[in-house]
A = this chain, B = another copy of it.
Amino acid sequence: MPNAEIIAIGSELLTPFRSDTNSLWLTGELNALGITVRQKSIVGDDEQCLEESLRDALKRSPIIISTGGLGPTEDDITRKVFARVLKRPLVLHHDILDRIRHLFESRGMKMSSNNERQALIPRDAEPMTNHHGTAPGILIHEGDCLIAMLPGPPREMKPMFTSYVRPVLEPLAGNLRMRTRMLRVSGMGESQVDSLISPIYMRYNNPVTTILFNNTEVELHFTASAPTEGEAEKLLDEVCFKVEEALGENIFSHRGETLEEIIGLRLTVKGYTIATAESCTGGLIAKRLTDVPGSSKYFLEGVVAYSNEAKTRLLDVPEALIAEHGAVSPEVAEAMAVGIKERSGATFGVSVTGIAGPDGGTEEKPVGLVYVGLASDFHVKHRKFILPGDRERIRFLTSQAALDLVRRNYLL
Contact = CB atoms under 8 A, between A and B. Distances in A.
Interface in A106-145: 107, 109, 112-115, 132
B189 A109 contact: yes
Contacts of A268: none
Contact of A114 (B153, B194, B386, B392): B194
Nearest to A357: B293
Interface stretch (A68-76, A316-324, A373-381): A68-76
A287 B293 contact: no
Nearest to A214: B153
A409 interface: no
Contact of A153 (B15, B198, B215, B358): B215
Given A17-B210, A23-B19, A74-B202, A299 B282 contact: yes
Interface in A69-91: 71-75
A215 B155 contact: yes
Contact of A39 (B53, B114, B155, B190): B53
Given A112-B195, A153-B215, A191-B115, A283 B302 contact: yes
B38 A210 contact: no
A287 to B, nearest CB: 4
A266 interface: no
Interface string A196-233: 00100010000010111101000001010000000000
Given A282-B286, A286-B304, A293-B391, 5 more contacts: A12-B221, A74-B198, A112-B192, A132-B389, A301-B306
Identical subunits present: 2
A14 interface: yes
A354 interface: no
A393 interface: yes
22 contacts: A11-B210, A14-B37, A16-B180, A17-B212, A19-B20, A42-B42, A56-B56, A71-B190, A72-B191, A73-B190, A74-B194, A114-B194, A114-B195, A155-B390, A281-B287, A282-B289, A283-B284, A284-B287, A296-B307, A296-B360, A301-B306, A302-B303
Contacts of A190: 71-73
A168 interface: no
Interface residues of A, number: 107
A314 interface: yes
A365 to B, nearest CB: 15
A28 interface: yes
A240 to B, nearest CB: 17
A111 to B, nearest CB: 8
Contacts of A49: 38-39
Instruction: Name the residue among A38, A155, A282, A343 with the largest chain B CB count within 10 angstroms.
Output: A282
